[in-house]
Structure 1
Amino acid sequence: MYDLKSTAADTDGPTDDNSVLFGADNQGAATPKPYSFGGIKAWIKSFLTGHLPGETSNGNAAAGELGEYIESEVLSGAAVALTTNTAANVTSYTFPAGDYEISGAVVFSPSGGAAPTFLAATTNTASAALPTAPNKGAYNGLTLAFTANQAQVMSFAPRRHSFAANTTVYLIAYGTFSAGALSAYGILKARRAR
């Protein structure tokens, strides 16, 4: 039988290295019966040595597959108006059961002389609620004398979420300001990790 971990040539089967040997044929013959499966043997050998082939073009993993990419984005034209000291949902996505790395970014856009003194961007499974920092790393909050009418971009680290059932994750924006107006837009994105 061919050793899938070996780099030596296959000596007990056909010369086609893309064949996999499955033992005796259905007649009980002693000689193993070859079944050709294209490049499956090379793939298995690669897997056993810790190497998995990646996407070789610009395709995407299908829904439910390892590496699936998900995003929900709100652009500036649909920015969400914020109320001072009140968490707001910028966008959200309902994730099917699975294991994900979820991250995001929020753009804060002040106008009318607004000069925020605190801004925070994060995620939460509770709607319009600011979680307690550090929120497993998925939290970026700054207390600063921000320049009036100057947009700020805040991103945060990915956080692992493991869901047993469909679960909605919200991209949260929060700002403290005393004059003018403040709005927010941004992106929530994720990869299915396993």
Structure 2
Amino acid sequence: MILNGELPAGERLEQEQIAEQLGMSRLPIRQALDRLKEQGFIDMLPHRGAIVSPLTLEDMVELYAARQRLEAWALTDAWPHYTPDVVGTLRDSLRSCEAAAERGDLDDFMVANRNFHLQTYAPAGNRHLQSIIVKLYDLSERYQRTSLQQPGRMQLSNTHHADMLKAIEDDSLEGLLAAAARHNGATQLSVESRIDA
């Protein structure tokens, strides 16, 4: 609910209300809120309780800087393992992204977009690196959603995906890394004007 924007930044989360809605005791709700706090999705404020963490420019810049470095590492390690089968899978993922964008279906696009990116890193075979990237991806998903809600952004994202795939097909690691950097940079630029610093 936080990642898909159903609970917006700043929304107050009341333990009692959540427990009642889910038909549970407060203890598992409190534990879940503690875990969400540890993961960076909510803040616990004195005398106000839990709120959905705000989207901030500083947070976005830090997240995308970390993602950029780790994703470049993963793409570089994956590079020797882009077999024709992997390229075919990436091509199918790109088609899923394009179909979701054509329909204007943001939720489907978010899933297809995530799959495309994770499939570009998977051939690296480093499950710990993949796990860290997934965590950063989760934390940046609200920023992605903010960006992709803007007109033309899903299509631009697909252009970047196509550039990444073309670089792989053209055997250009440098082109792949540049396309991935452009992709992340475009997301940051589109979000900057929409959030408070």
Structures share fold, TM-score greater than 0.5: no
Greater RCO structure (CA 8 Å; 6+ sep): 1
Q: TM-score, normalised by structure 2?
A: 0.25
Rg larger for: 1
* Greater fraction of residues in strand: 1
